[in-house]
Structure 1
Amino acid sequence: MDFSFNDEQQMLLDTTQRFLASEYGFDQRRKLLESDEGWSRGVWKQLGELGLLAIDIPEADGGIAAGPVGVMLVAQAVGHGLLLEPFLSSAIVATRAIVQIASDAQRARWLPALASGERIAVLAHDEAGAGIDFTRLGTRATRDAQGFSLSGSKSVVYHAPMADLYLVSARVDDGSLGLFAVAADAAGITRHALRTVDGQRAADLDFDKVRLDADARLGADVGDALASVIDCAIAALCAETFGVLDRILKATIEYSRARKQFGTPIGSFQALQHRMADMLIQFEQARSMMYLATERCSDTDAGARRASISGAKALIGQAARFIGQQAVQLHGGMGMTDELDVSHCFKRLLAFELRMGTTDEHLEIYRRGLQAE
């Protein structure tokens, strides 16, 4: 694979990095994290003005069509910045779902507002007890003369408290898998807000006979398209996590050079050098897996695509745990305090292992993929 970046891709990465470095410093982020809202609508609008919320929207729909590599680069910078705003949830996952599944009229209705940051959409798909199998849905959409009646529950929907639109997956009474656009303030929705382990905002959603018009449904039987959306979302999450790994590794190396013991920088101790060398090996393996997951987003073989991306998610999950734990240990007790960004990185890495399927679940998918070859 050739992952040298062209001028446009490099400019996209540089723009994102400069913005986050100047507008999203550690102190500002801590204030947002501790606030009631947990994010900044002003920052979100600025991301829209920079065009970063339109990177996965085709040019025909007013986007910049950066493709999987462009998404990877921006997600990597977003991860390095530990962004609390719903970049992955709205600008990548929900936006891609609309691009791949929605009708022309639905795309024209929602994509411009999502690209500008005026609206936020999230995919409400995961359900308690369903695990990584996205076809196991307890949520039901019953057809009637007026449209549909939606009932069921969704678990830990990232950034649901700030969203205007929910894209809700449900099993339709004809047996097909449907995706429905539901206004966040629709009657019959109960939202139970929560914070994830890394401080991001999420919610459990209950739908009790929510009335939907017929045109609220996106596409027909969306099983294959939704699988593609989820796979590419996992690839973007891997890229975001690689950015976190880059940040925590650099912070650890810098600390080892500045922290002195017995009058000598601890980074000069051979035992600690061996640890950091092992961290670097894991880091470079994670980079390769990020590239692999990005490349596989365009694979039309659903089984091969899912196996490769699951393999990448599993290996990056192992790297996240190893590098995160080593970084905290090398910092000592201070590594778990909120005064150092290493603790914030560690929590984000821990959340990665649990989000969109655990490391063990993706290892099992990869194993089944190898057996199928």
Structure 2
Amino acid sequence: MNFEFTEEQGMLRDSVARFVQDSYDFDTRCKIAASDEGMSRENWQTFAELGWLSVPFAESHGGFGGGPVDTMVMMEEFGKGIVLEPYLATVLLFGGLLQRGGSVEQQAELIPRIIEGSCLGAFAYLERQSRHAITDIKTTAAVEGDQLVLNGEKVVVFNGASADQLIVAARSSGEQSDEDGITLVLVPADAAGVERTAYRMMDGQVVANITFTDVRVPVADIVGEAGEGYAVMSPVITRANVALAAEALGIMGQLNAKTLEYTKTRKQFDVPIGSFQALQHRMVDTFMAYEQVKSLLYRAVCELDGEGDDTAACVHALKVLVDRNGKKIFGEAIQLHGGMGITDELDIGHYAKRLMMINTTFGNGDYHQAKFNELRYSA
């Protein structure tokens, strides 16, 4: 199997890598993280000018027409810089839902605006009681004439504080956890009855809890078909999980590289600690953990690219491995750096915190292990 990137994919990777190296050093990231929005709109416009926001979108909308491999190479480089700008939230989730389920009018209006950087979006799906079950939804969407009336609350909405537009997963029929009866609704973030409460997560990103009180939008603002939102959001979330795994891979690579370099310079008993055989074994273990994630990530991307029959099981296994091996890698990095490994002054702790957040997004390792077992071992 050929794992070589095309010339275009190599250029895309190099473009993001240069930006991270030249314009997104650790001190710069800390300043962005400390800002009110937790992102840089100037950087976002740079992303637009460089064409990165167009990568996953169809050429008919002015996009690059890229696939999972193109997304993977970008997200891995974003991970190396622990980039805070909302590429996942706006392009892959909000934009992905529009591309898969949006009407011709919705796509024509919003996708070009995403590509040019003038529209920030968010996907409001999570609720207080739902934990990792994306179908556990209490927020309601009731039809009144030619309008939908939304009531409920969404929590931990990525980019929810800065978004101009929201896609909200609401229940229009069925029981609380049914896959059927979920309707995706496009809602302007400044609509009457929408209230946002912003707060900062441990990895530096700013998210929001959003309440909807008798929020009225036209029925035409449904994304996809009424009651069939799960069929739209499920494949988009699957692709987002693979993109998050690519970001995690970039983080793991940086943790390994920085820890290896530290063991070559940190001395005990007048010799570098990297000369101790026990520590060399541990560094080999973390390198192997990284390579395992990389191999399974490539397998998952190939499944997505070819719409393989084993996609779901492969992505569940990938999430389990990212959780398990990520904890091993950041645990060793912190321990080998000593107490300063978890301080805010050193980037090691920030990489670790981002990995922790990735591991809880769309389900942690235990959740995906259970899902994998259901697919593989259920009768």
- TM-score normalised to structure 1 length: 0.96
Q: Is the counterpart of residue 252 in structure 1 residue 253 in structure 2? A: no
Secondary structure of 2:31's partner?
helix
User: Which one of the candidate residues 203, 206, 209 is aligned to 2:208?
Assistant: 203
Match of 1:242 in 2: 249
Match of 1:265 in 2: 272
Alignment of 1:54-93 (within 5 A): 54-93=54-93
The change in CA–CA distance for 1:293 and 1:70 in structure 2 (over 3 A counts) is: same
Q: Work out the CA distance in 1 between the residues paired with 2:306 and 2:376.
A: 16
User: Which one of the candidate residues 313, 324, 329 is aligned to 1:323?
Assistant: 329
Q: Work out the CA distance in 2 between the residues paired with 1:262 and 1:291.
A: 42
Secondary structure of 2:362's partner?
coil
How far has the Cα of 1:298 moved from its partner? Answer: 4.2
Match of 2:224 in 1: 219
Which residue identity does 2:265 align to in structure 1?
A
How far has the Cα of 1:301 moved from its partner? Answer: 6.7
- Greater mean deviation of Cα atoms: 33-42 or 326-335: 33-42
Which residue identity does 2:36 align to in structure 1?
D
Match of 1:351 in 2: 357
How far has the Cα of 1:24 moved from its partner? Answer: 0.9
User: Which one of the candidate residues 175, 180, 200 is aligned to 2:185?
Assistant: 180
How far has the Cα of 1:142 moved from its partner? Answer: 0.3
Deviation digits for residues 330-371 of structure 1 (CA, Å, limit 9, x no counterpart): 000110112211111011111112111111101101111102
Q: Is the counterpart of residue 307 in structure 1 residue 319 in structure 2? A: no
Q: Work out the CA distance in 1 between the residues paired with 2:327 and 2:133.
A: 24
Secondary structure of 2:161's partner?
helix
Q: Work out the CA distance in 2 between the residues paired with 1:300 and 1:73.
A: 19
How far has the Cα of 1:90 moved from its partner? Answer: 0.8
How far has the Cα of 1:300 moved from its partner? Answer: 4.7
The change in CA–CA distance for 1:43 and 1:347 in structure 2 (over 3 A counts) is: same
How far has the Cα of 1:311 moved from its partner? Answer: 0.9
Residues 166 and 189, structure 2, Cα contact 8 Å, conserved in 1: yes
Alignment of 1:162-173 (within 5 A): 162-173=162-173
Q: Work out the CA distance in 1 between the residues paired with 2:129 and 2:173.
A: 21
- Greater mean deviation of Cα atoms: 125-134 or 62-71: 125-134
How far has the Cα of 1:33 moved from its partner? Answer: 1.4
How far has the Cα of 1:200 moved from its partner? Answer: 0.8
How far has the Cα of 1:20 moved from its partner? Answer: 1.6
Residues 80 and 254, structure 2, Cα contact 8 Å, conserved in 1: yes
Q: Is the counterpart of residue 340 in structure 1 residue 346 in structure 2? A: yes
- Greater mean deviation of Cα atoms: 65-74 or 152-161: 152-161
Match of 1:283 in 2: 290
Which residue identity does 1:177 align to in structure 2?
I
* CA-based RMSD: 1.5
Deviation digits for residues 79-105 of structure 1 (CA, Å, limit 9, x no counterpart): 111011101111111111110000111
Residues 169 and 229, structure 2, Cα contact 8 Å, conserved in 1: no
Task: State the 4+ residue runs in structure 1 displaced beyond 3 angstroms.
Answer: 298-302
Secondary structure of 1:367's partner?
helix
Secondary structure of 1:297's partner?
helix
Q: Is the counterpart of residue 131 in structure 1 residue 136 in structure 2? A: no
Match of 1:146 in 2: 146
Q: Work out the CA distance in 2 between the residues paired with 1:88 and 1:318.
A: 22
Deviation digits for residues 306-341 of structure 1 (CA, Å, limit 9, x no counterpart): 222111011111111010010000000110112211
Q: Work out the CA distance in 2 between the residues paired with 1:2 and 1:179.
A: 38
How far has the Cα of 1:271 moved from its partner? Answer: 1.0
How far has the Cα of 1:50 moved from its partner? Answer: 0.5
Residues 289 and 316, structure 1, Cα contact 8 Å, conserved in 2: no
Match of 1:295 in 2: 302
- TM-score normalised to structure 2 length: 0.95
Which residue identity does 1:83 align to in structure 2?
V
Q: Which runs of 5+ in 2 are unaligned?
A: 175-179
Secondary structure of 2:148's partner?
strand
Q: Work out the CA distance in 2 between the residues paired with 1:45 and 1:51.
A: 10
